[in-house]
Amino acid sequence: MAERKLFAGHAIRRLRFQLGVTQAAMAEALEISPSYLNLVERNQRPISAALMLKLAETYDFDPRRLAAAEPGGGAEALRRRLADPIFADLAIDRHQLEEWLAGAPDGAEAFARAYDRMGGGGSAMPAPGAAQDPGPQVRRAIERWRNHFADLDAAGEALADELRMAGEPYGAMADRLRVKHQLAVRILPAEVMGDALKRLDLHARQLQLSEALDPSARAFALAEQLAVEARDEIEALVRGAGLDRAAERPFRRHLTAYFAAAVTMPYARFLRACEASGYDLELLQRRFGASAAQVAHRLTTLQRVGARGLSFFLMRFDRAGQVSKRYAGASGSALVEAAVPCPLWNAYDAFARTDETAVQLVELEDGARAFTIARCVHPHGGAPGGVRPRFVIALGLPAAEAGTLAAARGVDLAGRAAPIGLGCRACTRLACPQRSAAPAGRAAAGSERERGVTAFGFAGD
């Protein structure tokens, strides 16, 4: 698979300003021409591998900062923000966006931070003292790294190798907690745990797990507890994200779960299994003793330099279409930005096909095509007899990358795709019989003498 070109002029220019050197002086140190460095800083040339290595050698610069430092998360992330209906009358095209990033990267970053601080849209700032949703900040922090945290993967893989030599994974993790951290693991009756599925009792030096957890969830809980061994790496990422205090906790929780996945599904072994099986989800579950949700989340993280997996994105939503998780990963797909997933997307069918996956080739308004795989999952609930939650986990990737997937066998990836949108308020497809509202910012249109396929007609472009 061809490598993506990396444009990171903003990061280079910021480094130069921090060092207090001119373009000519930096160009001389890097053994390139000042004019070429100027083009790189203006994002008119990508960062070459040779230049990346020279930066690392000359300035002790971590190359991973290049991918993480795109203003506002990069052009695609800014484009998704500008798709908000409050900007519908501005008609900012891709060329203008690229000029903005090249000419005023700090302004683009400031816009992204302000938009995210407002909770991802709206026409006014929150009232003083009002609680703010930390979700957009956390998502932005994750997307800056394309949900791939190399240090956590390396630490998790090293620990997994140690545990592998110590025997069966669950027993090895329990022994490590007991010997190294003086924590015993106890499985307690559901009625004793109540609504809690996991509890750390430091007074009794116990990690207490509910019997309601299945084996994959118990193993993952032990791996999360072992994240204490990667505390330095996790805290460095939290500090570097520059989040509000309210957003630090969910981001730390995400990184802890990321480390647990790196332990239970070590990167190199997991990627080899993916490629050998055609990313067969059920086989991956059995091989790594993981749940469908755990495997799906892991698939969005496979972006190690020199050993990349496919560019999966992920959404999790309930039967009302309320989205509780969304990761764009390296896919750049706008589909994850849908406020409410389009009802024409057959991912909803997975609620009725609880033991099967629902696959579909879809096409968005801008012509982007994706292959999607959806499955219903049942996270563990609380007390016995309580509500049993149900969600759909929907994975997707660009259709051009889906040819090797086991789930795509027999599907004509160049054939007709289902036309879907990003929710009625963001979709401008005409004559959609499923439409439930006119697009935001569009005037209603209709005639007393004529009725179309939808009652929510609107003025076209």
Whole-number Å distance between alpha carbons of 400 and 393: 21
First to last CA, the chain: 38
- Per the listing, tokens 């230049």 go with 51
Ranges of H-type helices in 32-168: 34-41, 49-59, 64-68, 75-82, 94-103, 105-117, 135-144, 150-166
Domains of the chain: 9-121+133-144 (1.10.260), 150-264 (1.10.10), 307-424 (3.30.450), 434-461 (no CATH)
Whole-number Å distance between alpha carbons of 169 and 185: 14
DSSP code at position 401: G
Whole-number Å distance between alpha carbons of 174 and 214: 16
- Per the listing, tokens 């061809």 go with 2
DSSP code at position 22: -
Three-class secondary structure of residue 447 per DSSP: strand
CA distances from 311 to 1, 298, 301, 304, 410 (A): 11, 11, 9, 12, 21
What values do phi and psi take at 426, rounded to 5? Answer: -110, 0
CA distances from 91 to 23, 82, 96, 334 (A): 35, 9, 10, 17
Q: Is the dihedral of CA 91, 93, 99, 104 positive or negative?
A: positive
| Residue 1 pLDDT | 41
Structure tokens at 295: 């495997």
- Per the listing, tokens 């993506």 go with 4
| Residue 64 pLDDT | 59
CA distances from 120 to 112, 181, 423 (A): 9, 41, 16
| Residue 66 pLDDT | 62
313 Cβ contact list (under 8 Å, min separation 6) = 300, 326, 327, 328, 329, 331, 333, 335, 336, 395, 396, 397
Taking only the tens of pLDDT, the chain with its 461 residues reads 444 566 777 778 777 877 778 888 889 988 999 888 888 887 778 888 888 888 888 887 666 566 555 666 667 677 777 777 677 667 677 777 777 776 677 787 788 777 766 655 444 444 445 557 888 889 989 988 999 999 999 999 999 999 987 778 999 999 999 999 999 999 999 889 988 899 999 999 999 999 999 999 999 999 999 999 999 999 999 999 989 889 999 999 999 999 999 999 999 999 999 999 999 999 999 999 999 999 999 999 999 999 999 999 999 999 999 999 999 988 888 899 888 999 999 999 999 988 889 999 999 988 999 999 999 998 876 555 667 889 999 999 999 999 999 999 999 999 999 999 998 888 888 888 898 888 877 767 666 666 666 777 776 64
Helix pair 34-41, 23-30: axis angle to 10 deg: 110
